[in-house]
């Protein structure tokens, strides 16, 4: 019987021969991830009902990433408690200020194609860039901690096929923002967006993770990019032993198939107060900014930092703009430093901070009322980065870098053309 990639993954996770969209199943995650802002509270919930051991501690990843470096006494206390409880509960993988959970988990070779991953963070689907099904949950994660299993409804699949070659200045972020224009929340709900096509195949693994992770912001359960040879090469470099491919059947029924001509895409920006409110960068050229941020689980990769450096090299950030750059993981930070990428960014006027969720969580570089930031982060709801009266625009690293130079929202293609010239 033909099955989508999502169906195949969940059939294996539920020890079934086949599962159907809409069916409620019990599934066993291969891995569960959570940040320090959740973990101590979840352990306490379990303790309150008499549970003091984990069903599969070796399958748990806990990362201190949201509030590091600690910005308050409360955060410092929570980070310390996370460390103590990780030891007490024999957690298999504790990452202490090493980077943001999702890219770090892939970087350490813990996620393989075909895995079912549960996460206590909204953007857990960023792990879908390697062909895993990674779904975010809330307090339900405590069920996994206690029993090793969770119930869920098998999602439908929406296929997005992107054909051709992305034009200069257009990135993976622009692909997913364009998809948000085509898929409404009602359709995305209880669905997984599966991305394929020649344009997707040309993307690096971190770029694919950008697309899968941001899919949740259109209302989808997750996003996934089927693994290919490029995925396997990336995972082998991360130290994974013999990763294997798992793909869905081409003739498996899906809710909808969307075909996109990559050559027609252009730089896009999400405007307040939602990632799904999308405009072209060219349309927004009159909006002045005071802050720019390049980083987050979605756009803190080495590829994104290199792209920003290409725009900023030999130039200076606008006098009225503060540009903050945060590599997604310590390893990315080290690589960018070794390549001279951070030097280029700093010469242009950027501030560099250690790997953290930082501004995306509102714990660093908060905004005052009326201030405007263009950011590569994931969300732009009011109050996300400080004052509820601040304004947050979301875009690719190329667009953010160009905007930092211009002092206003800017189309990066003009700056890339100047660089070539």
pLDDT for residue 244: 86
- pTM value is 0.96
Report the 3 state secondary structure along 316-383.
CCCCCCEEEECCCEHHHHHHHHHHCHHHHHHHHCCEECCCCCHHHHCCCCCECCCCEEEECCCCCCCC
Judging by beta carbons within 10 Å of its beta carbon (0-12, 13-18, 19+), is residue 272 exposed, middle or buried?
middle
* Nearest-angstrom CA–CA distance, 353 and 364: 10
- What's the CATH superfamily of 268-420? Aconitase, domain 3 (3.30.499.10)
**Tens-digit pLDDT profile for residues 199-249:** 999 999 999 999 999 999 999 999 999 999 999 999 999 998 878 899 999
Structure tokens at 235: 């995972």
The answer to whether the CB of 141 falls within 8 A of the CB of 264 is no
Same fold, 5-261 and 268-420: yes
Class level of CATH domain 5-261: alpha beta
The closest of 118, 135, 253 to 192, measured between CA atoms, is: 135
Ranges of each domain in the chain: 5-261, 268-420
Q: 408 and 285 in contact (C-beta within 8 Å)?
A: yes
Task: Compute the average pLDDT of residues 23-41.
Answer: 98
Q: Is the pLDDT of residue 417 over 80?
A: no
Question: 293: burial class by Cβ within 10 Å (0-12, 13-18, 19+)?
Answer: buried
Band (356; pLDDT cuts 50, 70, 90): very high
Mean pLDDT of all residues in 253-261: 98
Query: What digits encode the pLDDT tens for the residues 2-21?
Result: 999 999 999 999 999 999 99
Mean pLDDT along residues 59-76: 96
């Amino acid at each position: 019987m033909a099955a989508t990639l999502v169906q195949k993954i969940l059939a294996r996770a539920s020890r079934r021969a086949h599962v159907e969209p809409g069916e409620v199943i019990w599934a066993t995650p291969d891995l569960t991830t959570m940040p320090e802002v959740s973990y101590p509270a979840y352990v306490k919930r379990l303790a309150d009902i008499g549970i003091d051991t984990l069903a599969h501690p070796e399958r748990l990843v806990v990362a201190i990433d949201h509030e590091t470096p600690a910005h308050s006494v409360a955060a410092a206390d929570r980070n310390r408690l996370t460390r103590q409880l990780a030891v007490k509960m024999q957690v298999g993988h504790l990452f202490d200020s090493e980077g943001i959970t999702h890219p770090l988990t892939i970087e350490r070779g813990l996620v393989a194609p075909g895995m079912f991953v549960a996460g206590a963070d909204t953007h857990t689907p960023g792990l879908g860039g390697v062909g895993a099904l990674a779904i975010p949950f809330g307090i339900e994660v405590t069920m996994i901690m206690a029993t090793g299993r969770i119930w869920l409804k098998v999602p439908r699949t929406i296929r997005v096929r992107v054909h051709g070659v992305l034009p200069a200045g257009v990135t993976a972020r622009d692909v997913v923002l364009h998809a948000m224009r085509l898929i409404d929340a009602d359709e995305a709900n209880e669905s997984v967006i599966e991305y394929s096509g020649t344009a997707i195949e040309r993307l690096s693994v971190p770029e694919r993770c950008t697309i899968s992770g941001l899919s949740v912001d259109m209302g989808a359960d997750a996003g996934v990019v089927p693994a290919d040879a490029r995925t396997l090469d990336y995972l082998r470099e991360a130290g994974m032993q013999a990763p294997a491919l798992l793909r869905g059947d081409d003739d498996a029924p899906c809710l909808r198939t969307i075909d996109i001509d990559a050559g027609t895409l252009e730089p896009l920006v999400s405007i307040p107060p939602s990632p799904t409110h999308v405009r072209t960068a060219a349309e927004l050229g009159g909006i002045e900014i005071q802050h720019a941020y390049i980083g987050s689980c979605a756009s803190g990769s080495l590829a994104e930092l290199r792209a920003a450096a290409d725009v900023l090299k030999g130039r200076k950030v606008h006098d009225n703009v503060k540009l903050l750059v945060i590599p997604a993981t310590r390893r990315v930070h080290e690589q960018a430093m070794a390549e001279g990428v951070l030097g280029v960014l700093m010469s242009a006027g950027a501030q560099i901070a250690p790997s953290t969720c930082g501004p995306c969580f509102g714990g660093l570089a908060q905004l005052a009322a009326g201030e405007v930031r263009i950011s590569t982060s994931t969300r732009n709801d009011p109050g996300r980065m400080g004052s509820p009266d601040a304004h947050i625009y979301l875009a690719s690293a190329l667009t953010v870098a160009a905007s930092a130079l211009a002092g206003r929202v800017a189309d990066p293609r003009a700056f890339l053309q100047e660089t070539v010239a």
